[in-house]
Amino acid sequence: MSLKFGTDGVRGHADELDDAFVAALAQAAARVLGNEHGRFVVGMDTRESGPRLERALRVGLEVEGYKVEVLGVVPTPAVACLSATEDVPGAMISASHNAYTDNGIKFFAAGGLKLTDAVEEELEAELEKIRATGSELAVPEGVDEPDAGRIVLYEDTIIESLEGRRLDGLKVVVDCANGAASHVAPEVLGRLGADVIVLHAEPDGRNINEQCGSTHPEDLQRAVVRHQADAGLAFDGDADRVLAADESGQLVDGDQIIAMCAIDRRDRGTLAGDTVAVTVMSNLGFRLGMRAHAIEVVETQVGDRYVLEALESGGFNLGGEQSGHVIFRDLATTGDGLLTGVQLLDLMGRSGRYLSDLASSAMQRLPQVLKSVWVREQQRDIATLIEGDIAAIEGELGERGRVLVRASGTEPLVRVMVEAEHETVADRAADRLVAAVERVAN
């Protein structure tokens, strides 16, 4: 197979990521990302294919002379954390919010940062050279024993982010998605003094994200109401994103979390440049809310690594995505669902306010309609092809509406998004754009 990096590493059906390919990919990563320390840290989520891919990665890295530190099941941000604190490259085996049948590999450069487009291109080229030789490395059977104590270093960084404050008195429901947060999230919240009710923390290799977690938060929402909890947190499979539920069970998304934290940080004088960075998918209500609170918004293309690039280049320290990837750049090098959840709960504790009150005062979401259109092949220039249709609808919606049409970075799929003051208006506009995409792409 040929490597195709999307917006967050390489990902596909687990069977497509065969041992030979993964070992060669590891060799390429060692040559492109390795540094003088001669070490790599490798983690994975709870998918049944994870141990096989871990072994293949280890073989490819070791043949290039690198020592591999196997972390076992850990959140993606734990790999980034150790990569940053120890200045070594890392790899995370995960397909994030996808079903267990998929898997993928994300790389971090030494220092804990995701790869730039230029580095990914270099890695692809090196992989092609390795694959062209026709030689394949043998991958042995067996399971590597991780160093369980390493995860404590990550836990400590989350706890230390509160600078001695605690979460005593808060009752919190956590949905771990049967994924990488299953142990660490309850452990950290418990260490901070919260009363924790745990859902979906019994991974079996196949139930990751299965009707649970941030892609299916319904169980969490019901549990918050049933247990009369103060809030709920729903992670995805590798725990680099989080959504919340308020005390009434209403969902609180990444836009709202970023908005609340931005206002809080601005008020405390810790929001660098009084600016946040978000992607084009953030709700128009977020932009209007930030304008009302005199906070600037920098917009990027979809992908948390592009948000990170905007934070780095502008010297800012808060940004993220509507999906729940939130980056506190002064506290971490990448999106971290657990860190985000802890910061949100800390805000609730310090303010003494309900989460619903904090969210509604930060921003008011406008109805947003999202539709996906499968096409014969990826259409990078789809917005240009239907620019007349887009312009017509934007003119009708005016300043209280917004349109976004973009190609998926990983699939032959076009995503259509429309925001308007009324959902019926947004839905009709989205249907018109779907028809326009189908007209030119199929």
Report d(CA 319, CA 31) in Å as an integer: 32
Cα distances (angstroms) measured from residue 40 to each of 67, 107, 180, 213, 344: 6, 10, 19, 29, 32
Residue 240: exposure state from Cβ atoms within 10 A (0-12, 13-18, ≥19):
buried
The residues facing 232 across adjacent strands are 173, 245
Instruction: Give which of 432, 419, 413, 430 is closest to 373, Cα–Cα.
Output: 413
202 forms bridges with which residues in the sheet? none
Cβ neighbours of 351 (radius 10 Å): 14
Q: Is 94:104 a contact under the CB 8 Å cutoff?
A: yes
User: Is 244 within 8 Å of 261 (Cβ atoms)?
Assistant: no
In our burial notation (b when 16+ CB lie closer than 10 A, e otherwise), range 75-85 reads bbbbbbbbbbe
d(CA 50, CA 389): 44
Place of tokens 């390489």: 10
Please say if 49 is a catalytic residue: no
3-state secondary structure 374-412: ECCCCCCCHHHHCHHHHHHHHHHHHHHCEEEEEECCCCC
Contacts for 278 with CB less than 8 Å, ≥ 6 apart? 255, 258, 286, 297, 298, 299, 300, 307, 319, 320, 321, 322
Q: Which of 96, 182, 214, 323 is catalytic?
A: 96
275 three-class SS: strand
List, as one string, the DSSP characters of 148-167. TTHHHHHHHHHHHTTTT---
- Tell me which residues are annotated as active site: 96
